[in-house]
Amino acid sequence: MKIPNKNPMIRFWNLDEETIFLNHGSYGATPKIVLDEQNRWRKIVEKDPVKFYEDIAPKALLDARKAIADFVKCDYDDLALIENATSGVNTVLRSLDFSINDEILIPNHAYQACRNTVDYVAKKTGAKVITCDIPFPIDNEQIIIERIMNCVTERTKLALIDTVTSPTGIKMPFEELVNLLEEKGVMVLLDAAHGIGMIPLNLEKIGASFTTSNCHKWLCAPKGSAFLHVRKDLQKSIHPLTISHGMTIPLDGTSRFRHEFDWTGTRDISAWCVIPFVISEISKMVGMKWEEIMVHNNNLVIEARKYICKKLDIIPPCPDDMLSSIATIKLNFEDFTKLSIHEPDSIHLELLEEYNIQVPVWYWPNPEGRYIRISAQIYNHLDEYKYLASVLENVCKN
């Protein structure tokens, strides 16, 4: 099989030249210029750590919040810089007071780590977890809206809603869901792990109680950079996972929310300092505006999925307009072995070890089978997915 062409843009990343990297969705990938800029910040820290943390960092972090706020359209004072979406979800769920009379609503397509957090909090507080079953394959967004809204009762206190689901790659009708749920008095925790840099977001307009998004995925910022947006009326009830000086520092014209989230102890904050650079320079590096990058990636994944499905004679499990930059496809693999979500799938390993293709394959229970999830980022080339399709034709015969 002919090794596929690579997109010339790949030169901007450190990705292994031998690997066909089709999994931006799991951990992102950071361009070389961004890593260099992060190193520049680390040097500034070590030149004089006291000066850095006391004088330089507050301004750098403010600039980071301003850059994010401009991107996702919100007040920069409503943003907290955090390390990842998992901690964003934990921060909210572990701050709120749940009781035996409360219900927490979560779709069955939610990311397992977030599901675990919901279960943990529910066990501790006596709250009940209501799992909403969303079918997959799925024909349209209306089905999701109906299923979720049918699960709401007068006890529903919070709903965890994804922007884009991780195992199934569905773009949820999250704007409409937030609107309907918040209108009914249900707080929405929007899991936008796949959010900033992937799909347009206007947080003021969306109006969710809480939104968390990873900058290290689709914005291509360094690992450990994410944000949590908390609506002003709820900021008093949300505290960082780490309680520090901010709890008692005099307010001095700012909010407790600001103080608490702005300092949670000494740590490497270089990933956040780089965010304004990431937003302005990646766009210049690839010669596209961010809106164009998002459209480009969306178009590439649609084209890639179409090609793979046609080649493997698979019916696409959701319409194109429910895709973002990731797409999940159920493999026609008759003789599949039931696998746990905690174990690497043997097809995933075969694709990586025999063909140098880095793409996730996992077990999904309903309908039971093996699913592959492709990602499309600016450094990918359609030929890489064509190659994957040809390889899958062989692998799935076994």
Ligand X SMILES: Cc1ncc(COP(=O)(O)O)c(C=O)c1O
Q: Which residue from 10, 122, 193, 278 is in contact with ligand X, where contact means CB under 6 A?
A: 193
Q: Between residues 33 and 113, which has the closer beta carbon with respect to ligand X?
A: 113
Interaction mask 229-248, ligand X, x per CB under 6 A: --------------------
Nearest CA among 326, 105, 319 for reference residue 217: 326
Contact between 86 and ligand X by CB under 6 A: the answer reads yes
What is the Cα 219 distance to its own chain's centre?
10
307: closest CA among 256, 222, 362, 381? 381
Q: Decide if residue 323 touches ligand X (CB under 6 A).
A: no
| Beta bridge pairs of residue 214 | 226
Cis, bond preceding 367 (omega within 30 deg of 0): yes
Is 191 near ligand X (CB under 6 A)?
Answer: yes
- Least gap, CB of 166 to ligand X (angstroms): 3
**Region 93-112 residues binding ligand X, contact defined as CB under 6 A:** 111
Distance between CA atoms of 266 and 253, rounded to whole angstroms? 24
Residue closer to ligand X by CB (options 193, 388) is 193
Minimum CB separation of residue 192 from ligand X in Å reads 8
Q: Supply the minimum distance, in Å, between the C-beta of residue 87 and ligand X.
A: 7
Q: Which of 108, 166, 324, 358 binds ligand X (CB under 6 A)?
A: 166
Position among 23, 30, 38, 84 found at the interface with ligand X (CB under 6 A): 84
Distance, in Å, from the CA atom of 65 to the CA atom of 267, rounded to the nearest integer, reads 18
The stretch among 81-89, 241-249, 317-325, 329-337 that binds ligand X (CB under 6 A) is 81-89
Given the complex with ligand X, which of 85 and 230 has the nearer CB atom?
Answer: 85
- Give least dist CB 375 to ligand X, A: 11
- Judged by beta carbon, residue 274 or residue 391, the one nearer ligand X is 274
Pick from 174, 149, 147, 160: nearest CA to 322: 174
Which of 84, 209 has the CB closer to ligand X?
84
Whole-angstrom distance, CA of residue 94 vs CA of residue 241 = 8
x/- binding map, residues 109-138, to ligand X, per CB under 6 A?
A: --x-xx------------------------
Which residues, including other chains, have CB under 8 Å from residue 362's CB and lie 6 or more apart? 167, 339, 341, 345, 348, 370, 371, 373
Q: Of 142, 141, 188, 186, which is closest to residue 161 (Cα–Cα)?
A: 188
CA–CA distance, 307 with 380 (Å, rounded to integer): 15
Chain positions 357 to 376 lying near ligand X, rule: CB under 6 A, are: none
The least CB distance from residue 155 to ligand X, in Å, is 25
Are 387 and 1 in contact, with CB atoms under 8 Å apart? yes
Q: Specify whether the CB–CB gap between 76 and 69 falls below 8 A.
A: yes
**Residue 189 makes contact with ligand X by CB under 6 A:** no
Taking 3-state DSSP, the helix, strand and coil percentages for the chain, each rounded to the nearest 5, stand at 45, 15, 40
326 touches ligand X (CB under 6 A): no
Choose one: 191-199, 282-290, 292-300, 337-345; the region binding ligand X (CB under 6 A): 191-199
Q: For residues 307 and 386, what is the distance between their CA atoms, to the nearest angstrom?
A: 7
Size, binding site for ligand X by CB under 6 A: 13
First to last CA, the chain: 17
Residues at the contact surface with ligand X, assessed by CB under 6 A? 26, 84-86, 111, 113-114, 162, 166, 191, 193-194, 214
